[in-house]
């Protein structure tokens, strides 16, 4: 056990406003790779002139103070105290009225391997300041509730010099930017480099003409068009649906190759991981196109939910992230298929957030304690944060939601707000008491809901009583929990398959509650938790025949898919424990494949078997210890059985779903490809790889190439295809990331660690690049039975790389350590080996705060 736990903790309860008011920030950057000089002038005033306080500025180790003046005069040096992460000017040196504090500092962007603050990626200067990167640029009150206008001057010979806001001056070697919207430091950005733009413009509904640019490295222009189209769609959607307009004269997006996260919403200057901007049919898959569209929208939507209204402190992170994810999900469902989007979002939520909630890293959407805030950019804060808003909307209705959001924008524009503020607008706009609902924000864990049915036939019709019981299991630091408000959407289906009671939302507020439906002719089948109306697990005694009935007849697409999922999981969990598997799932899936009326994307979702990790999660939630190899074997066997049983149907479907003509990333073509490739994955298990090899050979786009290659690698084939892909795309970083990632991920489990090891020895394994590191280490972690190899080799391999990465880039090391977050659910042998690996990490000298917090939570 580490000893550092607790010593850096921050608590929500300790919040206090900053004792100074900052109105304007002026900065000048003299860019130099090793020695950048930053001059910062802060217009400050004591919040309470009667109350003299020390002025504490944040500033990391790499920030070297060159000079400091107050209203032009250098204070006595004894009044300035430099500590490891702060600079304090004692109250005695400060006037009781407004003053100008000027500092000059020097920083070394070339030494910045953590990619936090100002750094160099591929020859260009760029920044990442959320959450606390700005303190590595200059001394500053680096907290989100301190907001100021920014005026930034950049001196450099590089051709393109960008910062936030509007351009106010450009001359040889200099650019000036002014951002009139007060903002916290985490939204600051600067980019300088040899860049070219793909440009367009957008006229807002009140007539402001906005110049739009997507900046990329020369040669990448032809891969930036889709990002630009997505931006234009996002801007119109936010006007149409939320009444939100853009508020500057320019909107710039920059693609950078070294980036810790996906993208960042800096005011007027979004910075993106290049994999979320650059796409061409030849290099990007359908999934990449989807993600680009969604993330461009996400960052754009932050302009209102995040920037105009920001967070008071980092405990409130889900205020902006949950809401912005919810908005980008709405955007995608409006543009594409709402049913498919919902199912995909639920799948992702279960895979990442339920997994997090089940283990030692569980935390509430609004945590009340952290050591390193970067460790809380999690599925719980983002995706569960979005689910909680979906529930709110379900409870208050579409109109109520609209009124609440209008009030939120009205009341809090320009504020640094809290979850309490957010809930208050819903209370005020709808009159609803949300005291109990607030537990969704403050309590961790996934409620377990169970459903019992009671049927009483009667002369004037029968009565069906549904009794729901909720159980809120303990999570770290929260042992006792009270019941939550759970909206349960329910519909009833008659024995002939017709819907007899359309969807209604039952509101559960107690630990156990009953709801009755009477006047029913015959006992109906209950379709429960329609649309996944709450992020809970639902258990109900349902036999496979009834599940198959729901898969055939449910009118709610999510519930229909869920019935198929439950069938598949019941077959897989039984098989992995050596029990016999009924034919219900295999039969039901045959009907679905044959149903030419169903959306191909929906059919693909039903045909993709649950992943091994999902099966393990299901078993573990039933109190059963998952055995990774047994799960792998069971899943392979079921896939094979489906392929053999439905060979003719599947072969025909594979041919029918071929998409003629040039590649288009739109939803309908992508849907056909997704079905075709789901079928290919099944057929490859019995055709010796023939179809996949042919498809790879003639593939006209990366979606087909990757589908074919993945199917082959899973069968232990595909070496020639791997080599061909490498030859063709060795010069393309993003494609090479796929090449590195797919091999450990799709490898037969027994070879996965060895393959990952061999790849890690290659010269082109540029591990300091976050995308490349994530591809390989994340690829292995995603191979369930490979990572959890019984001999612990997967654990050791990942631990070694985390230890190597940590001193350079703690954020990435900490994030990738979540590979271990489920370690407690396995058998004693695996647990012992995982614990040894985790303890070895914990014991490392100089381990970062990031990784040390993660590891100590995991072994606590
Ligand atoms: N606000 C960004 C987004 O969700 C994420 C940035 C997180 N970066 C970090 N280093 N924690 O769009
Ligand atoms: Zn975000």
| pLDDT tens-digit map of 361-391 | 999 999 999 999 999 999 999 999 999 999 9
pLDDT at 1 over 80: no
587 contact partners, CB below 8 Å, separation of at least 6:
548
Task: Single out the residue of 481, 527, 491, 484 nearest to residue 508, CA to CA.
Answer: 484
Nearest protein Cα to ligand 1, atom 11: 374
Residue 634 and residue 778: Cα distance in Å, rounded?
24
CB of 584 closer than 6 angstroms to any ligand 1 atom: no
Q: Which of the 8 DSSP states describes residue 519? A: E
In the reported structure, the alpha carbon of residue 377 is separated from the centroid of ligand 1 by a whole-number distance in angstroms of: 7
Q: Report residue 6's pLDDT band, with 50, 70 and 90 as the boundaries.
A: low
Q: E strands along 623-727, which residues?
A: none
Tell me whether residue 768 is exposed, middle or buried, using C-beta atoms within 10 angstroms of its C-beta: 0 to 12, 13 to 18, 19 or more: middle
Does ligand 1 lie within 6 Å of residue 263's CB atom? yes
What number is the average pLDDT over the span 650-663? 97
Please say whether the beta carbons of 690 and 715 come within 8 A.
no
What is the distance between the alpha carbons of residues 286 and 284, in angstroms, rounded to a whole number?
7
Which among 176, 119, 32 has a CA at the least distance from the CA of 128? Answer: 119
Mean pLDDT of 545-562: 96
- Note whether 286 and 673 are within 8 A (CB): yes
What is the whole-number distance in angstroms between the Cα of residue 263 and the centre of ligand 1?
7
Task: Please indicate whether residue 53 is annotated as part of the active site.
Answer: no
Q: 321 CB less than 6 Å from ligand 1?
A: yes
Distance CA 523, CA 455 (A): 7
Q: Is 371 in the pocket of ligand 1 (CB under 6 A)?
A: no
What would the mean pLDDT of 683-699 be, rounded to a whole number?
Answer: 98
Percent of the chain with pLDDT strictly greater than 90: 97
Residue to substitute in 126, 183, 258, 377 for testing ligand 1 pocket (most ligand atoms within 8 angstroms of CB): 377
Nearest to 183 by CA among 79, 81, 266, 76: 266
My answer on whether omega of the bond before 131 falls inside 30° of 0, hence cis, is yes
DSSP character string of 329-359: HHHHHHHS-HHHHHHHHHHHIIIIIIHHHHS
Q: Distance between CA atoms of 632 and 641, rounded to whole angstroms?
A: 14
* Helix (H/G/I), strand (E/B), else coil: 484: coil
Distance CA 732, CA 285 (A): 14
Q: Is the pLDDT of residue 4 over 50?
A: no
- Sequence-distant (≥ 6) Cβ neighbours of residue 846 within 8 angstroms: 807
> Of the residues 130, 176, 265, 299, which is catalytic?
299
> In this predicted model, what pLDDT tens digit does every residue of 95-106 receive, in sequence order?
999 999 999 999
Q: Across the chain, what does the average pLDDT equal?
A: 97
Are residues 289 and 665 in contact, defined by beta-carbon separation less than 8 angstroms?
yes
Tell me whether strands 310-311 and 416-417 are parallel, antiparallel or unpaired.
parallel
Q: Name residue 213's beta-bridge partners.
A: 199, 252
The pLDDT value recorded for residue 112 is 98
- 3 state SS for 560-605: HHHHHHHHHHHHHHHHHCCCCCCCHHHHHHHHHHHCCCCCHHHHHH
Q: Say if ligand 1 is within 6 A of residue 299 CB.
A: yes
Q: Give the residue from 138, 140, 94 showing the smallest Cα distance to 117.
A: 138
**Count, residues in the chain:** 860
Q: How far is the CA of 817 from the centre of ligand 2 (A)?
A: 22
The reported pLDDT for the residue numbered 2 is: 39
Note the pLDDT of residue 582: 83
Is pLDDT of 8 > 90? no
The tokens of 47 are what?
């919040």
Q: Say yes or no to pLDDT of 124 above 90.
A: yes
Please work out, in degrees rounded to the nearest 5, the angle formed at the alpha carbon of residue 842 by the alpha carbons of 840 and 847. Answer: 115
Which of 261, 305, 811 for a ligand 1 pocket mutation test, highest count of atoms within 8 Å of Cβ?
Answer: 261
> CB of 691 within 8 A of CB of 704?
no
**pLDDT for the residue numbered 738:** 98
Query: How many whole angstroms from its chain centre is CA 836?
Result: 29
Q: In the structure encoding, which two tokens stand for residue 169, read together? A: 């001056």
Give residue 7's pLDDT.
Answer: 72
Mean pLDDT, range 150-173, rounded to an integer: 97
- The 10s digit of each residue's pLDDT in 462-499 is 999 999 999 999 999 999 999 999 999 999 999 999 99
Q: Can you tell me which residue has the tokens 């980092």?
A: 314
DSSP assigned state of 207? -
DSSP 3-state assignment of 45? strand
In angstroms, what is the span from residue 456 Cα to ligand 1's centroid?
Answer: 54
CA distances from 214 to 169, 227, 228, 747, 848 (A): 20, 8, 7, 37, 35
pLDDT of res. 822? 98
- Separation of alpha carbons 294 and 276, rounded Å: 9
Q: Write down the pLDDT at residue 84.
A: 96
**In the structure, how many helices (H) and strands (E) does the chain have?**
29, 30
Ligand 1: does its nearest atom lie under 6 Å from the Cβ of 293?
A: no
* Beta strand 36-46 pairing with 99-107: antiparallel
pTM of the model: 0.98
Q: If you average pLDDT over residues 31-50, what whole number do you get? A: 98
Q: Render pLDDT for 749-775 as a digit per residue (tens, 0 to 9).
A: 999 999 999 999 999 999 999 999 999
470: helix, strand or coil: strand
277: enclosing H helix or E strand = none
Please compute the mean of the pLDDT values over residues 434-451 and round it to a whole number.
98
């Amino acid at each position: 056990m580490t000893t550092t736990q607790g010593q850096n903790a921050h608590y929500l309860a300790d919040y206090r406003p900053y004792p100074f008011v900052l109105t304007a920030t002026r900065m000048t950057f003299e860019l130099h790779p090793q020695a950048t000089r930053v001059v910062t002038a802060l217009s400050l005033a004591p919040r309470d002139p009667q109350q003299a306080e020390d002025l504490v500025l944040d500033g990391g180790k790499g920030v070297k103070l060159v000079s400091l003046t107050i209203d032009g005069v250098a204070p006595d040096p004894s009044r300035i105290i430099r500590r490891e992460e702060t600079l304090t000017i004692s109250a005695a040196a400060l006037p009781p009225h407004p003053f100008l504090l000027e500092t000059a500092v020097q920083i070394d962007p070339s030494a910045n391997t953590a990619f936090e603050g100002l750094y160099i990626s591929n020859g260009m200067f760029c920044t990442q300041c959320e959450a606390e990167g700005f303190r590595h640029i200059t001394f500053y009150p680096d907290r989100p509730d301190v907001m100021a206008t920014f005026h930034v001057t950049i001196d450099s010979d590089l051709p393109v010099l960008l910062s936030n806001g509007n351009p106010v001056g450009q001359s040889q070697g200099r650019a000036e930017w002014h951002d009139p919207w007060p903002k916290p430091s985490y939204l600051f950005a600067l980019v300088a480099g040899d860049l070219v733009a793909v440009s367009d413009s957008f006229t807002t509904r009140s007539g402001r003409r906005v110049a739009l640019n997507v900046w990329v490295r020369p040669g990448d222009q032809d891969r930036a068009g889709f990002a630009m189209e997505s931006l234009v769609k996002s801007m119109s959607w936010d006007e149409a649906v939320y009444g939100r307009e853009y508020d500057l004269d320019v909107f710039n997006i920059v693609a950078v190759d070294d980036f810790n996260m996906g993208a960042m919403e800096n005011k007027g200057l979004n910075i993106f991981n290049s994999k979320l901007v650059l796409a061409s049919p030849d290099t990007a898959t359908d999934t990449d196109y989807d993600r680009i569209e969604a993330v461009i929208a996400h960052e754009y939507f932050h302009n209102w939910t995040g920037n105009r209204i920001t967070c008071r402190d980092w405990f409130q992170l889900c205020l902006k992230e949950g809401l912005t994810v919810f908005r980008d999900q709405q955007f995608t469902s409006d543009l594409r298929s709402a049913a498919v989007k919902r199912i995909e979002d639920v799948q992702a939520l279960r895979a990442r957030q339920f997994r997090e909630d089940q283990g030692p890293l569980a935390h509430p959407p609004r945590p009340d304690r952290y050591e390193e805030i970067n460790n809380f950019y999690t599925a719980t804060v983002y995706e569960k944060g979005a689910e909680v808003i979906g529930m709110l909307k379900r409870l208050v209705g579409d109109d109520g939601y609209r009124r609440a959001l209008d009030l939120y924008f009205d009341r809090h524009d320009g504020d640094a707000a809290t979850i309490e503020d957010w809930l208050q607008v819903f209370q005020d706009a709808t009159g609803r008491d949300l005291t109990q609902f607030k537990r969704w924000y403050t309590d961790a864990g996934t409620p377990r809901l169970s459903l019992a049915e009671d049927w009483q036939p009667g002369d004037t019709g029968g009565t069906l009583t549904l009794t729901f019981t909720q159980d809120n299991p303990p999570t770290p630091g929260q042992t006792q929990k009270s019941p939550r408000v759970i909206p349960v959407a329910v519909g009833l289906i008659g024995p002939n398959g017709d819907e007899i009671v359309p969807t209604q939302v039952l509101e559960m507020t107690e630990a156990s509650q009953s709801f009755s439906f009477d006047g029913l002719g015959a006992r109906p089948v209950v379709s429960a938790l329609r649309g996944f109306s709450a992020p809970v697990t639902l258990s109900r005694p349902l036999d496979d025949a009834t599940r198959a009935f729901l898969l055939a007849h449910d009118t709610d697409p999510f519930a229909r898919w869920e019935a198929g999922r439950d069938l598949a999981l019941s077959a897989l969990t039984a098989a992995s424990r050596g029990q016999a598997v009924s034919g219900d799932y295999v039969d039901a899936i045959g009907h679905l494949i044959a149903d030419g009326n169903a959306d191909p994307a929906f059919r693909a979702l039903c045909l993709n078997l649950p992943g091994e990790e999902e099966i393990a999660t299901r078993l573990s939630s039933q109190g059963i210890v998952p055995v990774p190899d047994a799960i792998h074997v069971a899943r392979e066997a079921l896939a094979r059985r489906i392929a053999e049983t439905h060979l003719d149907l599947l072969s025909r479907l594979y041919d029918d779903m071929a998409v003629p003509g040039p590649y288009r990333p739109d939803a309908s073509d992508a849907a056909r490809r997704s079905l075709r490739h789901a079928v290919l994955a099944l057929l490859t298990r019995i055709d010796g790889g023939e179809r996949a090899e042919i498809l790879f050979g003639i593939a006209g786009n990366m979606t087909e190439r990757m589908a074919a290659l993945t199917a082959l690698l899973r069968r232990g084939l595909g070496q020639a295809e791997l080599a061909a892909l490498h030859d063709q795309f060795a010069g393309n970083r993003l494609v090479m990331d796929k090449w590195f990632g797919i091999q450990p991920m799709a490898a037969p489990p027994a070879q996965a660690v060895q393959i990952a090891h061999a790849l890690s020895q290659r010269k082109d394994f540029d591990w300091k690049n976050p995308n490349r590191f994530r591809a390989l280490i994340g690829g292995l972690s995603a191979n369930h039975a490979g990572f959890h190899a019984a001999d612990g080799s997967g654990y050791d391999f990942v631990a070694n790389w985390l230890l190597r990465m940590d001193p350079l880039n703690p954020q990435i090391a900490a994030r990738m350590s979540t590979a271990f977050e489920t370690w407690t659910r396995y058998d004693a042998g695996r647990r012992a080996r995982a614990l040894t690996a985790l303890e070895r990490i914990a014991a490392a000298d100089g381990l970062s705060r990031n990784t040390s917090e993660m590891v100590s939570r995991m072994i606590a």
